[in-house]
Amino acid sequence: MPASRIAGTGRYLPAEVLTNEALARRVDTSDEWIRTRTGILQRHIAAADEATSDLALHASREAIAAAGMQPSDIDLIVLATATPDMIFPSTACILQDKLGIRNGGAALDVGAVCSGFVYALAIADKMVASGAARNALVVGAEIYSRILDWNDRGTCVLFGDGAGAVVLLPSDAPGIVTSHLHADGSHRGILCVPGHVHNGQVTGTPYLHMDGSAVFKFAVKVLADVAHEALAAADLPAERIDWVIPHQANIRIMDATMKKLYLPHERLVVTVDLHGNTSAASIPMALDVAVRDGRIRKGQHVMMLGVGGGFTWGSVLVKW
């Protein structure tokens, strides 16, 4: 069967660091409250002159270099974001230009919020494995700091900015073993940004809205379900999973998911403490950390899991 594999990874975090202590001076919260409930210690904030495509550019250059390639070699760009540079053109097209790629293959954005990278990776895998694309750059990039109400301590403490990227190449043996994507729009109200542009004005609220309790319950259920779906499709017992890389939303959601999979915490890749919830960027950033520090090794099974507004959710199972 045709397949694709991850040949290089990269990540980027903006220079400005906003710690829990610093945030507590701006809103009624504390380091202890944030840390014990979410596992977050700090988040990164994009500079005023940084766009989502700029964050993506840094991460993409790292991933392309790690794959031993040049930007001009890239045939397809699939970029997951909920915070695009503009309504159109796509941030993927803008990234293509910033990489210096001319007359390239397709470039498209994927809007699946925190599941975005899993969605983008699954789409790119099908394109590369089928021969429709020679290779693919898959990116998750977000600037959530610009859609947060900084007076709402229930949401502003959770999110940060960043980008992560991978390069996919064709492979004779499955690297990406299986992927599973789902959505249910009836749950859109519990996590959304309901504002929109109408006749040159923003109508509705342009800030992120979240029903934290409802999101927690929904996320834990569907993450475990889609992980089991992947295991069944691959005919693989859960204990064969070496690493689980979930969307880095909240340490409690991640720990609860591991319990439903009957896997020890030690197999969980955690970076939420370093950058908070970076939505579509969190999985590729966590993947890059685990690849570069040597935790992920050849022959290991890696399960990536995402759930986000929409609601969307999905899994990608990789044999490294």
Which residue among the candidates 44, 58, 277, 301 is catalytic per the annotation? 277
Active site residue 277: yes
Active site residue 93: no
Active site residue 103: no
DSSP the chain: --EEEEEEEEEE--SEEEEHHHHHTTSS--HHHHHHHH---EEEE--TT--HHHHHHHHHHHHHHHTT--GGG---EEEE-SS-SSSSS-HHHHHHHHTT--S-S-EEEE--GGGHHHHHHHHHHHHHHHTSSS-EEEEEEEEGGGG--TT-HHHHTTB-EEEEEEEEEEESS-SEEEEEEEE-GGGGGGEE---EEETTEEES--S-EE-HHHHHHHHHHHHHHHHHHHHHHHT--GGG--EEEE--S-HHHHHHHHHHTT--GGGB---HHHH-B-GGGHHHHHHHHHHHTT-S-TT-EEEEEEEETTTEEEEEEEE-
Which residue among the candidates 44, 93, 114, 135 is catalytic per the annotation? 114
Which residue among the candidates 247, 250, 275, 301 is catalytic per the annotation? 247
Catalytic residues, by residue number, are 114, 247, 277
